[in-house]
Amino acid sequence: MADSEFFLVKSDMLPEVFVKVMAVKRLLSSGKADSVNEAVQKVG
């Protein structure tokens, strides 16, 4: 895996589920949600 590739992609090109997963992860890492369940409820 030494030659990993990374891509920048506009969020409107991704399926909605990917955008929501990233939003949940952002809430969890920032401390704005205490649990996955809380973050999912906030994201919708």
2 falls in which pLDDT band (50, 70, 90)? Answer: confident
- DSSP of 17-42: HHHHHHHHHHHHHHTS-SSHHHHHHH
For the chain, percent of residues with pLDDT exceeding 90 = 93
Segment 26-44 mean pLDDT: 98
3-class DSSP assignment, residue 8: coil
Query: How much is the pTM?
Result: 0.77
| Residue 12, amino acid | D
Neighbours of 16 (CB within 10 A): 9
For the chain, percent of residues with pLDDT exceeding 70 = 98
Break the chain into its structural domains and give their ranges: 14-43
Average pLDDT, the chain: 95
